[in-house]
Structure 1
Amino acid sequence: MSRPDGVVELVPLRGVPEVRAGDDLAALLLTALRPVGGLRDGDVLVVSSKVLSKALGLREPVDGAAREALVLRHSRRVVAERRTGSGTTRIVEAQAGPVMAAAGLDASNTGPDAGVLVLPADPDAAAADLHAALADRAPDVTFAVLVSDTAGRPWRSGQTDLALGSHALRVLDDLRAGTDADGRPLAVTARALADEIAAAADLVKGKVDGVPAALVRGLPEVVDPGTTEDARSLVRTGPGDWFALGHVEAVRAALGAAPGTEEAESVGIPSVGPEEPRDRGERAVRLALLGHPGARVAGTVSSGYAVSAADPVLAGRVAARLEVALAGEGQTSSVTVEPDGSSSGG
C-alpha cells in the first residue's frame, strides 16, 4: 500500500464534554467534528475506549481485593502474574480480545462516578454500533470507526494505543507474496494498519488533555465499508501464539499451579521486585509438594535439599518436581533423595 502524496493528518476533536452513561456519544462526536469540517470521505474516526465504556455504562464498583476478582472475571486466561505492594498484577487475555494488564480495567479519568470502567465484551460490535449511529446522521459519507485502548508490549518499555475494535476499516496490510524495493520476495511482512492508526491518533489525543477522539485523514485506501476484517482478528491465539504463558507461569502450570488459580495462590506468587533466594526456594518447595502428600523436603537453596517419603517412587517424583520448580525460580541447588526418616519436614 503506497501513498501518492505521503501526507496524513491527525486532527484532535476538542470540546467533547464529560460522557455519562446513556449519553448519545455519536451526537457528542458530531458536534466536536463541526469545527474541523465534519466527517469526510476517507476519514478514520478514532475513539478512546474510555468514552465508549462511559456512554455504555460499563462501570463496576470495586475496591481492594475485589479488583483482582474483577480482573479474573473479565479475562479468558491469565498469561502472567506478579505480586506487588498493592496486590497481584495480572497480564491476561481479556474478554474484549487483546492480551493486556488487568483486562483493561481503567480507574483513571473515569469522571465523577465511582468505580472502574470495563471494556465492551465485543469491541468490534460496539464500533459497528457507533458507526451506524454516526452514519444515520452523515448518510453520504464513507468513513471508518476505530476504538482504541492503551496497552504495554512485551520487550518494550512504555505503553501505546492499539486497535480494540473497528468497523469499515482494513486492519491488516498483508504484503506476503509481494516483493520489496529490491525485488526480493516478502515472506512474513503484514502491517498492522489498525494498530498503527490507533497509535498515531494517540499523539493528538491524550489522557491529560481530555481529548478522547481524533480524525486520521489521508488514508482513504484503508476505509472499506464492505470489509469483514475486524480488530479481534489481530489478536494471536492458538497455534500462532508463541507466548501463551510467561516462562515462570509455564513451569508453574506444568507442576499444577496455573496462573490465576487457588493453587498458584497457595504456592505463592512471585514478586515483581527482587526476592531473596530463600524465599524463591521455599516457594519452589511448596510447588514441588503440591498434590503430593506424604513427601517431605528439608534444606535450603544454599545447603541443598533432601527429599524423603515412605514410598521411594513418591520421593523421586517430588525430587524431580523440585528440580524443575527451582529452575523456574531461577535457582540452582542440589536435590537428593534420602531414605525415609533421615530428614525432617521443612
Structure 2
Amino acid sequence: MSARLTAWAPGGFPEVRPGDDLAGLVGDALAADGAASGDPLAEGDVVVVTSKVVSKAEGRVVRAADREQAITDETVRVVATRARPDGQPPLRIVENRLGLVMAAAGVDASNTPEGTVLLLPEDPDASARALRAALRARFGLDRLGVVVTDTAGRTWRDGLTDIAIGAAGVDVVDDLRGGVDAHGRPLSATVTAVADEVAAASELVRGKADGRPVAVVRGLARHVRAGE
C-alpha cells in the first residue's frame, strides 16, 4: 500500500488582535473549510498554527522604538553576528529565552503597527495544549495534534523554513535508535524531527503572505496521541 501525506490551509482567516479567542477563530476556519469541502477535521489530524497569530492573540505585541533593543532584551547569549552592507545593524544569531537559536531572537517587526514589534509566545507548548484542548472539545476528537511554528534559517543552508517551537498531542521526534535498517544494520543515530517536518510541510500550503496562518496535515496518525 502507498503512504500518503495531505496538507491544506483554510482561507479567509481574520486579522488577529490581542485578546482574541484564537481557538474560536481557528475552529471557525476549520469548520467552514470542512463544510465547504465535505472533509472535516478527523482523528489523527495535526493542526498547525503560526506563532505570529498565537503571539498576537496573547498580547505579545510590545512597543519598541528600536527593534534592536527588543532583540537584546530577548537574548540569552549571542551565537554569531554578521555585518550587513546596507548600513543596518549587524544581524545577530542568538539563543532566546525559549532556548531557540535563531536570527533576531525571533523578534518580528513585520505586519505589526508602527512603533511595535511582535515577540514569540511566552510558552508555545502551553499555547499548543490550550488550542488542542479547545479543538478536541469542539470537534469531538480524541486523537488530535497541534504544532506551533516559526520561521528560521539553517546552518550552512540557503533559505528559510518553518520549524516547530511548540507542540501538543504529537510526537515531536521519532527515535529509531535501537532498530535496524532495511539490510538489518543497527540504527544508532537516527532521530527524525517529526514536528519540524510537519511545520515545514504546512508552510508550503500556508505561504508567508497569503493570510493563511493555519493548516491541517493528515497522514501521520501514528505520531498523534490520544487523550491528554
Could you state the TM-score of these two structures normalised by the residue count of structure 1?
0.61
Task: Tell me how far 1:57 sits from its aligned partner.
Answer: 1.0
Q: Closer, same or farther in 2 for the Cα pair 1:128/1:187, shift >3 Å? A: same
The question of whether the paired residues in 2 share the 8 Å contact of 1:30 and 1:38 is answered with no
Q: Closer, same or farther in 2 for the Cα pair 1:9/1:45, shift >3 Å? A: same
The question of whether the paired residues in 1 share the 8 Å contact of 2:152 and 2:162 is answered with yes
Structure 1 residue 206 and structure 2 residue 203: aligned?
Answer: no
Q: Which runs of 5+ in 1 are unaligned?
A: 228-346
Amino acid at match of 1:48: T
1:132 matched residue in structure 2: 133
The question of whether the paired residues in 2 share the 8 Å contact of 1:39 and 1:141 is answered with no
What do the CA deviations read for 1:205-242 (whole angstroms, capped 9, x no partner)? Answer: 01121110100011111101468xxxxxxxxxxxxxxx
Could you list the runs of 4 or more consecutive aligned residues of structure 1 that deviate by over 6 angstroms after TM superposition? Answer: none
Tell me which of the two structures has the higher relative contact order, counting C-alpha pairs closer than 8 angstroms and 6 or more residues apart. 2
Alignment: residue pair count: 221
More strand by share: 2
1:11 matched residue in structure 2: 8
- Separation (CA, whole Å) in 1 of partners of 2:137 and 2:99: 28
Q: Closer, same or farther in 2 for the Cα pair 1:92/1:226, shift >3 Å? A: farther
1:220 matched residue in structure 2: 221
What do the CA deviations read for 1:289-332 (whole angstroms, capped 9, x no partner)? Answer: xxxxxxxxxxxxxxxxxxxxxxxxxxxxxxxxxxxxxxxxxxxx
> Aligned with 1:50: secondary structure?
helix
Partner residue of 2:110 out of 108, 112, 125? 108
Structure 1 residue 75 and structure 2 residue 75: aligned?
Answer: yes
Q: Which runs of 5+ in 2 are unaligned?
A: none
1:173 matched residue in structure 2: 174
> Aligned with 1:216: secondary structure?
strand
Considering only aligned residues, what root-mean-square deviation do their CA atoms show, in Å?
1.7
Task: Tell me how far 1:187 sits from its aligned partner.
Answer: 1.2
Q: What does 1:1-346 correspond to in 2, within 5 Å?
A: 5-34=2-31, 35-36=33-34, 37-63=39-65, 66-84=66-84, 85-110=87-112, 112=113, 114-225=115-226
Q: Closer, same or farther in 2 for the Cα pair 1:146/1:139, shift >3 Å? A: same
What do the CA deviations read for 1:234-264 (whole angstroms, capped 9, x no partner)? Answer: xxxxxxxxxxxxxxxxxxxxxxxxxxxxxxx
Name the % identity.
51
The question of whether the paired residues in 1 share the 8 Å contact of 2:150 and 2:165 is answered with yes
- Separation (CA, whole Å) in 2 of partners of 1:114 and 1:39: 39
| Structure whose CA Rg is larger | 1
The question of whether the paired residues in 2 share the 8 Å contact of 1:46 and 1:146 is answered with yes
Task: Tell me how far 1:39 sits from its aligned partner.
Answer: 2.3
